[in-house]
Amino acid sequence: MMAPALVLALALGAEPQPEAVELKTDTGTLHGVLDLPAGAGPWPVVFVHPGSGPTDRDGNSAGAKNDSLKLLGAALREAGFACLRIDKRGVAASAKAASKEDDLRLTTYSDDATAWVRFLRADKRFTKVGFVGHSEGSLIGTLAPGARFDAFVSLCGPGRKLGAGLREQLKANAPKGLAEKAEPILLELEAGRAVKDVPKELAALFRPSVQPYVISMLKPDPAAELAMLKCPVLVVSGSTDIQATEADAKALAAALKGAKAVRIEHMNHVLKEVKTAVRLAQLPSYSDPKVLLHPKLAGELVGFFKTELVGN
C-alpha cells in the first residue's frame, strides 16, 4: 500500500520528499537520504556516492550549488529505482562524525561505503544494490571492502593515479608558474612524506591538515582497483569534462574485461550539457541548479541498471 504522505504529494503534484536516514558508527552518525519510488516496493536500490572535497548528498559544495546528484536521484526514482544519497563523513549533516581533517583517509570513506551497503542489504524494501561513484566516489567504491555490489557505475571517475590528474589540471587551469611550485610538493607526498612549508596559493590543495588524506589518495591505481570488481561495470564519461579526461575513462574501461563504456557528448563533470571544454564557459553550470542533467545520462544509467538489477 502506498504511504499516505506519498499519495498526498502525488495528488497535489508535489515532488516526493526524500526519506532521511542515519547510520550509526563508532565515531559518529552519518546522514543521508533515500529517494523512494511510488508504491511499497521492494525495489532495487542505487547507492550514489559523491565526489571529492566537501561535496554533499546533492552534489553541492560551498559556492557551487548545481544539484547534480539530487537531480540524478530524482531521475532514478522516476525510473523505479530507490536511491541512497549520502553526506560523507565530515561533510554537511555528517560533519560532526569527523572531528579533525587530518584524521581522514581514503579508507575512511571506503569503510563508510561498506557500512552503508550493509545498511541497504538489511532493509527488506530493497533487492539488489547498485552503485554510482561520481568522480572520486568511483575510486572509493572500488576500495570498499566486502561491499558486494550487484552492478557498478564509474561516473566521471579517475582512471589513473591522482598525481597524473593533479598535474594535468594544474598545468591546464592554474596561474602561470603554479604547476612548477606544486611539483616538488607532489613528489614528496607521493613518497609518503608530509610537507611543512606550503605556498599560500597552494594551501587549498596541500595544507598540512589535508596532506594525510592526499597521501592516501596518491597511492591507489583506480584502473587496477576497478579490475578487481566481481560485478557488471559501466564506465560513463563526458566529452567536455575538464576534471576527468578521456584518458581516465579509457584506462578504466580497458582494465576489466566485459566492462561497458559510454562517452556522452557535451556532458561535463557536474553532469550538465555544456558544449565547450573552456573553463570559464563551464563555470555557470557548476553553480546553477536550474541547469538540468544532460538529457542522455539518465537513460544510460537506467538502461544499465534495468539489465543488471532487474533483468530486463
pLDDT of residue 4: 47
pLDDT of residue 13: 55
pLDDT of residue 7: 46
Domain 16-161+221-310 has CATH 3.40.50.280: no
| Spans of all domains in the chain | 16-161+221-310, 162-219
Q: What is the pLDDT along the chain (312 residues), one digit of tens a residue?
A: 344 444 444 444 567 899 999 999 999 999 999 999 999 889 999 999 999 989 999 999 988 999 999 999 999 999 999 999 999 999 999 999 997 899 999 999 999 999 999 999 999 999 999 999 999 999 999 999 888 999 999 999 999 999 998 998 898 888 889 999 999 999 999 999 999 999 999 999 999 999 999 999 999 999 999 999 999 999 999 999 999 999 999 999 999 999 999 999 999 999 999 999 998 999 999 999 999 999 999 999 999 999 999 986
pLDDT of residue 2: 44
The structure's pTM equals 0.92
pLDDT of residue 14: 65
HEC sequence for the chain: CCCHHHHHHHHCCCCCCCEEEEEEECCEEEEEEEECCCCCCCEEEEEEECCCCCCCCCCCECCECCCHHHHHHHHHHHCCCEEEEEECCCCHHHHHHCCCHHHCCHHHHHHHHHHHHHHHHCCCCEEEEEEEEECHHHHHHHHCCCCCCCEEEEECCCCCCHHHHHHHHHHHHCCCCHHHHHHHHHHHHHCCCCCCCCCHHHHHHHCHHHHHHHHHHHCCCHHHHHCCCCCCEEEEEECCCCCCCHHHHHHHHHHCCCCEEEEECCECCCCEECCCCCHHHHHHHHCCCCCCECCCHHHHHHHHHHHHHHCC
